[in-house]
Amino acid sequence: MGDGNDFIRWLGRDMSIKILMCLEDPSDLVRVSTVSRLWRQFVIENGLSKQLCLRMLPEMSSLAGAIEINNMIETEEVQSNNMERKILEKNHRVYAYLAQGLTSSMRTACIARAISASSTDNYPEETIDNTLDPRDRIRHSASYWSSEGEMDPSIPESLVYKLIANLCVVTEIHVQPFQAYFQFGHPIYSAKAVRFRMGHQMYPMERGGDAANDPAAGFDSLEDQYIWTYTSPEFPMAQENRLQKFKLPEPALCIGGILQIELLGRVQKQEMDGLYYICVSHVQVVGRPLSEAFDVEIHDPSGKFTLKYFHRGYQCQSPVVAPEGLGADTASWMQSDARSIEQIIERFLGAAAEDDSDDDYLPTF
């Protein structure tokens, strides 16, 4: 089929873009770029891989105009047509990898560790760390986090966690309220509603210098420490002793690896002191860390960031962290998964890049 009979030439640029952007699977767009030299040039020059990423993840709109590849920053300024072509090809490859990573299977072990709670009643017995332990009892004692008591049931609480990577796609958060079986009537200290926020630290914290073990960390101080790039709608929470699953309206990209669970409103008063409490026994996050080949660098409090892509052979500065209690298996899984994603896409992109002929082609695999 010659270029004169190609439907991209028939339909024109705008209509062809609309048709190709109807594709939902990023791997299909990669395959499109291997049909012919004309199609590959069309996909690259119009930045369709980037457009697909922005459509799938609106949080990427804060992306600054530079991408780090192989520890070299390529800016949007170009010196010549050849340089412009190289930058477009590199951007296509990076966003193709990124988009492919968004469609892989999800996991429930996406929390690396607890950072802080807005308040803790009895520290360390009722620390936030207990919410990551799958057991209900530890050494014959109940395992849960408890807030401090309040006279006003409208006062909120919050729990902050570090995810296993700086770039994670999150689909669901699971929260289980705690039932105090040792109190009269077995009360359940749930919240009225929950809301989830994701983002990054406003200022880098020194190693070991976070508030994970600071019971005095207040709600206002948490607001000062983080910039939130995503906020979910509110979800009602049932006053039931079960793992309650809250599915986000759309998969959300956490840029910076910080997740906050807002517990809005109190429903249960403790009989012995007449104060309202919120208690949580378990927290889980369903999602997927992106390939270890990707990382982010936050530029300033405005939220602008640089997407870093480390090609094979270069070590990402912020590798995936295995969740506590799961050992190194999760990190090993991520490494092997990242390799498989790169191999699949490189097989398609490499076939197109190595073909120097002017003829249309359809690679076979």
**Residues 135 and 271 occupy one common structural domain:** yes
Q: Are residues 96 and 129 in the same domain?
A: no
Residues 225 and 139 reside in one and the same domain: yes
Phi, psi of 154, deg, nearest 5: -85, -10
Query: Does residue 244 belong to any structural domain of this protein?
Result: yes
Residue 190: burial class (beta carbons within 10 Å; 0-12, 13-18, 19+):
buried
Q: Which domain-ending residue is among 294, 316, 351?
A: 294
| CB proximity list for 332: less than 8 A, separation 6 or greater | none
Count Cβ neighbours within 10 Å for each residue of 119-134 and write b for 16 or more, e otherwise: bbbebeebbbbbbbee
Residue 130 resides in a domain: yes
**Predicted pLDDT of residue 231:** 95
What's the total number of domains in the chain? 2
Distance CA 360, CA 350 (A): 15
Does residue 213 form part of some domain? no
Q: Are residues 52 and 96 in the same domain?
A: yes
Half-sphere exposure of 232 (CA within 13 A, CB side): 27
Instruction: Indicate whether 57 and 199 sit together in one domain.
Output: no
Is the domain of 87 the same as that of 120?
A: no
Any residues with CB less than 8 A from the CB of 67 and at least 6 apart, and which?
A: 73, 74, 90, 91, 94, 306, 307, 308, 309
- The answer to whether residues 191 and 147 belong to one domain is yes
pLDDT at 289: 84
User: Which of residues 266, 294, 322 is at a domain's end?
Assistant: 294
Examine residue 352 and state whether it is found in any structural domain, yes or no: no
CATH number at residue 199: 2.60.120.260
Secondary structure letter of residue 154 according to DSSP: T
pLDDT given at position 219: 38
197 domain residue, yes or no: yes
Query: Which helix (DSSP H) or strand (DSSP E) does residue 284 occupy?
Result: strand 279-289
Which DSSP string corresponds to 196-239?
Answer: EEEEEESSPPPTT-SSTT-TT--HHHHHHHEEEEEEPPPEE--S
Same domain, 57 and 117: no
Residue 209 lies in a domain: no
For residues 288 and 186, state if they share a domain: yes
pLDDT in tens, the chain (365 residues): 455 567 788 888 899 888 888 887 767 887 888 888 888 889 888 888 878 877 777 666 655 444 544 544 444 444 456 777 777 877 777 777 766 665 556 676 899 999 999 999 999 999 999 999 999 998 889 999 999 999 999 999 999 999 998 888 899 999 999 999 999 999 999 999 999 999 988 755 333 344 444 444 443 556 678 989 899 999 999 999 999 999 999 888 888 899 999 999 999 999 999 999 999 999 999 998 876 666 666 666 665 666 666 665 444 444 445 455 444 443 443 344 433 434 434 444 444 444 444 443 333 22
Q: Are residues 182 and 246 in the same domain?
A: yes
Q: Do 167 and 99 share a domain, yes or no?
A: no
How much is the pLDDT for 263? Answer: 98
Q: Which residues pair with 201 in a beta bridge?
A: 226
Nearest to 295 by CA among 168, 199, 183: 168
pLDDT for 288 equals 86
On whether both 134 and 46 belong to a single domain, the answer is no
Question: What domain range is 181 assigned to?
Answer: 108-204+221-294
> Exposed, middle or buried by CB within 10 Å (0-12, 13-18, 19+), for 54?
middle
